[in-house]
């Protein structure tokens, strides 16, 4: 899928057409930041930065766009003009060290291809900035650990861009699970995918992506299972299906996997780069079920419960919510719920899924 069509897919669907249009950041109340807003520099001005994160920054109470890092001079000019950025807040990947002198920038939000996250996070930490890093955090556990160590050494905060951790409909489902509103959760079914277009993009290159649909969208299903159970998987069984061996020469196309959790909960997931229309989860409980469909879009996520209750909590912008929370954690010196340790743990479980595929048998994690 070309970036534009991926975006359209994530932002629109028949189901979304009926979703209410709402203004203002709703769902999560965040304390008003005392003093100035924290300055955020976006590192990597691709689709996500351009279409989601930059606009979201303007909806936050405690953040502002304060700088950019880009390797493309024409984008630097365009963004400088569009957002009225001072010339000395515009960097390329090689000059990020100069951010150390820029008091306007507090946070670097790393939005580059997966395997570049570490390099850019290290540069940001070395310049004395807090780091917010897109998912997946990196392409190996070792690289995640290096990121954690570097940001810790700099005395700064590290967060991972798990927007669903702030999406009120997801949080309502976590509440239903925790409070056993429909009984105990027993089985989780979570699936996400989209049809991949442009065969030349970095998402299909192992060196830059670290993997395919699993690293990119399967991670949402893994997060759902971990959020609903509040547990880490202890057993994983997985298989891969490839229908286009040329396009998906370097990375996985479709992955199917199951996980067992310590409480006995079982999850089942499919992620794919080969189909649209797969973006939901359902939790089967002792007395019924609940779930979201769609669950993973930028807008309009909503769902139902087996007692015929709708789950449809308004939210204007998940990226604004995650950024407000991160800034709030920095301002009030609180730990973030989307820590580097959480990002590392997810990468560890993704690697166990690949290990299971490779070995052709289940992998035990205890």
* Residues at the contact surface with ligand NAD, assessed by CB under 6 A: 3, 44-49, 71-72, 111-114, 116, 134-135, 161, 163, 202, 208, 216
Residue 153: which residues within 8 A CB-CB, separation 6 or more? Answer: 125
User: Which residues are annotated as catalytic?
Assistant: 135, 220
Nearer to ligand NAD, 237 or 318 (CB): 318
Distance in angstroms (rounded) separating the CA atoms of residues 68 and 39:
11
CA 218 to chain centre: 11
Question: What b/e readout covers 330-340, taking b as 16+ CB neighbours within 10 angstroms?
Answer: bbeeeebebbb
Distance in angstroms (rounded) separating the CA atoms of residues 79 and 94:
18
Sheet holding 90-91, edge to edge: 90-91, 63-69, 38-43, 107-110, 130-133, 158-160
Smallest separation (angstroms) from ligand NAD to the CB of 115: 9
Distance in angstroms (rounded) separating the CA atoms of residues 186 and 110:
36
Smallest separation (angstroms) from ligand NAD to the CB of 56: 11
Per DSSP bridges, beta strands 254-260 and 266-272 are antiparallel
Smallest separation (angstroms) from ligand NAD to the CB of 296: 8
Nearer to ligand NAD, 27 or 44 (CB): 44
Contact 329, 335 (CB under 8 A): yes
Smallest separation (angstroms) from ligand NAD to the CB of 304: 23
Smallest separation (angstroms) from ligand NAD to the CB of 331: 23
Distance in angstroms (rounded) separating the CA atoms of residues 112 and 49:
9
Nearer to ligand NAD, 69 or 238 (CB): 69
Nearer to ligand NAD, 277 or 288 (CB): 277
Smallest separation (angstroms) from ligand NAD to the CB of 229: 22
Contact 104, 40 (CB under 8 A): no
Dihedral sign for Cα 18, 52, 143, 359, please: positive
């Amino acid at each position: 899928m070309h970036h534009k069509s991926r975006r359209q897919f994530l932002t629109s669907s028949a189901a979304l057409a009926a979703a209410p249009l709402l203004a203002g950041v709703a769902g999560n109340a965040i304390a008003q930041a005392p003093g100035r807003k924290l300055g955020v520099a976006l590192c990597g001005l691709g689709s996500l930065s351009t279409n989601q994160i930059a606009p979201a920054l303007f909806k936050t109470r405690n953040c502002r766009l304060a700088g950019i890092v880009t390797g493309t001079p024409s984008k630097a000019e365009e963004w400088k003009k569009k957002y009225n950025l001072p010339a000395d807040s515009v960097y390329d990947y090689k000059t990020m060290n100069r951010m150390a002198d820029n008091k306007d920038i507090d946070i670097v939000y790393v939005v580059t291809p997966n395997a570049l996250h570490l390099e850019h996070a290290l540069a940001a930490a070395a310049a004395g900035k807090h780091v917010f890093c897109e998912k997946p955090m990196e392409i190996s556990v070792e690289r995640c650990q290096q990121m954690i160590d570097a940001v810790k050494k700099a005395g700064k905060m590290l967060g991972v861009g798990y927007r669903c951790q702030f999406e009120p409909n997801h949080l309502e489902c976590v509440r239903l699970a925790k409070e056993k509103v429909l009984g105990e959760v027993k089985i989780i079914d979570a699936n996400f995918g989209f049809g991949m277009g442009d065969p030349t993009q970095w998402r299909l290159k192992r060196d830059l992506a670290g993997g395919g649909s699993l690293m990119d969208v399967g991670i949402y299903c893994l997060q759902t299972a971990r959020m609903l159970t509040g547990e880490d998987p202890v057993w994983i069984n997985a298989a891969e299906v490839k229908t286009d061996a040329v396009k998906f020469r370097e990375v996985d196309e479709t992955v199917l996997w199951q996980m067992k959790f310590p409480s006995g909960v079982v999850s089942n997931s499919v992620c794919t780069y080969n189909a649209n229309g797969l973006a939901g989860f359902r939790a089967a409980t002792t007395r019924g079920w609940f779930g979201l469909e769609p669950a993973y879009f930028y807008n309009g996520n909503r769902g139902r419960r087996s007692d015929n209750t709708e789950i449809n909590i308004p939210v204007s912008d998940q990226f604004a919510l995650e950024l407000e929370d991160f800034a709030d954690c920095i301002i009030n010196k609180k730990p973030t719920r989307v820590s580097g340790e959480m990002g590392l743990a997810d990468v560890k479980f993704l690697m166990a899924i690949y290990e299971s595929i490779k070995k052709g048998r289940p992998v035990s994690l205890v």
